[in-house]
Amino acid sequence: MRKRVEGPVAMMLFSLYVQQNQWIVVALLWGAVLVILTCLTYRGMWGPRESEREEESKVKVRGPITFFSWVTTFMPWALILIILGSALYTVTHLYMAATTLPNW
């Protein structure tokens, strides 16, 4: 049966455990900070604006060019570039995975 550690020795062991794995604690804290910042940015980015409401009623989607101009009325360029970059990476990664044989 295992002995139970109490008192200052237990605090020292806990402190040692946290110090040995401090990168996990830092990663969890940074993850929480990034989630909060993402939520706040998402909320601020997608808030309705009067100028966008007026422009949205003017654009009629009839093809790929008008669809792209309609998307740019409400979606920031940063998100458009991230979506396009992710799609390009996915296609190239799948192509490379399909054409390159595994070396095991």
Residue 74 has what pLDDT? 79
pLDDT tens per residue across span 14-34: 666 666 778 888 889 999 999
Closest CA to 75 of 90, 56, 60, 62: 56
Task: Look up the pTM and report it.
Answer: 0.41
pLDDT tens per residue across span 65-77: 888 887 887 788 8
Half-sphere exposure of 10 (CA within 13 A, CB side): 5
Confidence bin at 57 (pLDDT 50/70/90): low
The span from the CA of 75 to the CA of 52, in Å, is 10
